Every structure is written in C-alpha cells, then in structure tokens.
A and B are shown apart, each in its own frame.
Chain A
Amino acid sequence: MDYVLSLLGPLAQGAAVTLKLFFITLALAVPLGLVLALARLSRFAALSGAVNGYIWLMRGTPLMLQMLFIYFALPFVPVVGVRLPDFPAAVAAFALNYAAYFAEIFRAGIQSVDRGQYEAAKVLGMNYGQTMRRIVLPQMVRNILPPMSNETITLVKDTSLIYVLALNDLLRAARGIVQRDFTTTPFIVAAAFYLIMTLVLTWGFQRLEQRYAKHDQ
C-alpha cells in the first residue's frame, strides 16, 4: 500500500502533462474544428473542397506519424518550415488532427438542424452570423454531445502517444517506474488515473445531456 502511495507523486506529474496536452488540444481543436465545419458547409466549392482534402489527410494518416512529421520533418520543409520544441510539436499535431475529427462531428450536428430553423431565422431578419450563433449552433451542441463524449475520451488515451517525443506523460512515467522496480503495479495505478479522468468526462457529458434534455419537457 505504501508502495502504491509512493507512486502517486511521480504518476501525478505524468498525469499533469497528460491533462495539459488534453486541455490545450481541446481549447485549440474545438474552435478550429468549428471553423473547418463551417468552411466545409460553405457554398464556395474551392473552400469546401480544400477542407475536405485536409480532413482526409488528417484522418487518413496516423496521429503518431503526424506528430513525428511536425517534430522531425517540418523544420526542413521550405517556406512553412519551423522548428518546434517537443511539447508544442505534440500540441500542434494533436490540435490539427482532432480538429479534423471535430469538424466532421460539428458538420453532422449542423446538418441535423432542420432547414425550417434557418427559414424561420431568415424571415425574422437574422443574418448568417446571428442565425448560426443564436439558432443553429445551440441546437448543434445538443446533437453532438454523444459523439463528442466519445472523441474526448479517445483524446485522453491518445495523449499517451507523446512518449515518442520523449515527453513524460502518465503512461511513460508509469513505464519508467515499471522498468526501474520490476513490478507492474504502476501500470495498474496509471490505469486508475485514466479511468478517473474518463469517469469525470463521462459524468460531465451526462450532466450536459440532461441539461439539454429539458428542452423536450
């Protein structure tokens, strides 16, 4: 038991890295995904097509490959080439990748809002921005809660991929101790950490769904 307690400190440090990546990714990928979704639904075929290509690229290649590319290969790309430190490189890859997935969820959510809602907003004099902000997006949020819950839980676990950039996330911290102490207990404690994080997320999304369900009452 004392051994388990002694693991909490180092694993909490790893969990802090995991959570930091998680929240920064969400904070960047949600707005970017929304912009991408609106662009994908745009009447301008070039814009919509470009976003389509971007989503295909991001969903069609492994996140780990994207991360390795941004860290190792991007510095050598002409014009756009920048050398990013390890954590910002990971953040960039995660945000760009998750934005693509979020964009598809948002697009589906927006498209599930009835056409009559746009017409009602239009005859009441609302412009595009007002219609989106006040009428369509609030209804979209409700529609996308279940897939967003899924995707954010996946994100919690995907954060463990950053070990390839030698970042000490929760899983890598646990593995370090496993190799040092020749016991698998740290893995079990790490699993408990992940489970608590996903439990909080699940609970949070359930609360949100309940809040939106009152519209049906």
Chain B
Amino acid sequence: MPNTTSDVPMIEAHGVKKRFGHNEVLRGVSLSVARGEVVAIIGPSGSGKSTFLRCLNHLETIDGGHVAIEGQALATTDERGHCRYAPDAELRRICAKTGMVFQHFNLFPHLTVLENLIEAPMVVQGVKRDEAVARAEALLAKVGLVQKRDNYPARLSGGQKQRVAIARALAMQPDIMLFDEPTSALDPELTGEVLRTMRELAEERMTMLVVTHEMGFAREVAQRVAFMDQGELITARPAAEFFADPGHERARAFLDHML
C-alpha cells in the first residue's frame, strides 16, 4: 500500500543529478516538500531551477539520485550509479499526482477554453462529459474566466491564458502543483492576476513548488524559499528568515541584485 499519510513528504528529491551532454545542470539537488507547503525556488537564470522542476514529473530524466512523489518512487539510483525509473504505467500514475503550469502556457490552440479543461479528464481519466464540464466550469469560475469558456486561446491575453492553464492543470485534480516561471512571459501589468490566482490556491493549502523571479510572491506566499545557483540547491529556509538573512554569500548577492 502506498503510504500517503501526511508525514510522508509530497515531494522528496535526493541528490538529483542531470547532465545535458557535458554540461552538468544539476549536481545533486535535494529538497523535500511537505503537504500543503508552498516552496519558491529562486536563483539566477541557468541555475537549474526549471530543470529540477521538470525532473519531478519526468519531463526530464535524471542521471542520478532519487525522486519520490507522495512516498512512491519515481526514479531511484542504485549503489553502482544506475538510475532506474518506475514502469511506464506506474510512472504515469505517479506523475498524475502533479499538475504543471508552464512559462509559455502551452494551451491547446485547436480547442476552446472549455475543451482545454475537459480534454484530459475525459481522455485520460474517463470522466463523463457532463461531469468534466461541471468540473471545468467550477474551475473557470474560480479563476474568473467563465465568460471565456467558448473562446479559443488565441483570443485571450497572456494573463488569461495562464489562468486557463492553471485551471486546466487543476481539472486533473492533482495533489501537487508545479509552476515553471508562470509569470515570466507576461507583461508586467498582467502578472498580478496570475499571482492572485496562485495565492488563492496556496490559501486552499495546495502543495506548490514555484520556480519564480517574483520576489514579492516568494516573500508573501511561500513558506520556504529555496535558492539555487550553478546546479546546486544552496539553501532552503523559511521565507521570512531567508529574506532577512539569506545565510549565504551567493544568495545575498542575488537578492541584492533582485531587490
């Protein structure tokens, strides 16, 4: 029986390594996220933040270390350094516990907003259309886009697209939400509406891991802030503490530069 009691971390990454060719992008990153926790990952671009996030739901395959979601092993590495993934069907089942929001939204352009939301529940989970539509409409109400349900994504602003993308991920009823720089592709005046939606999600005690450049969001919404640099997770400490004193030279330099 999979252990899903609340003391098991929702995300448990240990010593995660990733190379692209000769470029070592992750040099043994470890992070544990508890149920209902919101963790912001910050750091300079090229530090491996997004890659790390993508290793947690198998968008990237890791070259070493362990990843477990809600106590179930996604990938493990034996003592000889051979990295092994769970079998395909199980992999999909484990990854289904996570939802993801991308920097560039990746909405399906050939489907309306509503269709974007009901597609995966119907096709993957076998949910009946009526039920999927009801679920989708509730989520659209939550992100404030009911009136856009029959529009195609091309008609939406960036902020609206990202809110639809959040609703689409939630439609699969994940336990964990991964955000990969969700506001980086948006005009500054549109980031607010997306951050507001994310803040509401955090208030509902959704477990969230957010790669972001929004220091305001990290400070106000995240319980913990993880700082990454050059493929290493330098420090992960409570947000208030981190912003008061990052406790590490490179983190301090980064903060000084950002704020």
Contacts A123-B99, A125-B172; A130 near B124 (Cβ below 8 A): yes
Interface contact A119-B152, CB-CB below 8 Å: no
Q: Looking at the complex, which of B68-76, B101-109, B131-139, B207-215 is the stretch in contact with chain A?
A: B101-109
Q: How far is it, in angstroms, between the C-alpha of A215 and the C-alpha of B172 when the chains are bound?
A: 24
CB-CB nearest in chain A for B102: A116
| Chain B residues with CB under 8 A of A142 | 110
CB-CB nearest in chain A for B99: A123
Does A206 have its Cβ within 8 Å of any Cβ on chain B? no
Does A126 have its Cβ within 8 Å of any Cβ on chain B? yes
Interface contact B109-A123, CB-CB below 8 Å: no
Interface contact A126-B154, CB-CB below 8 Å: no
Interface contact A216-B152, CB-CB below 8 Å: yes
Q: How far is it, in angstroms, between the C-alpha of A167 and the C-alpha of B59 when the chains are bound?
A: 55
Interface contact B108-A135, CB-CB below 8 Å: yes
Does B251 have its Cβ within 8 Å of any Cβ on chain A? no
Chain A, interface SS category: helix
Interface residues of A in 138-176 (CB under 8 A from B): 138-139, 142
Interface contact A216-B154, CB-CB below 8 Å: yes
Contacts A116-B104, A215-B152, A216-B152; A126 near B110 (Cβ below 8 A): no
Contact with A along B68-109 (1 / 0, CB 8 A): 000000000000000000000000100110111010101111
Interface contact A214-B124, CB-CB below 8 Å: no
Closest Cβ of chain B to A134, distance in Å, is: 6
* A interface with B by C-beta (< 8 Å): 114, 116-117, 119-127, 130, 134-135, 138-139, 142, 212, 214-217
* B interface with A by C-beta (< 8 Å): 57-59, 92, 95-96, 98-100, 102, 104, 106-110, 119-120, 123-125, 152, 154-155, 168-169, 172
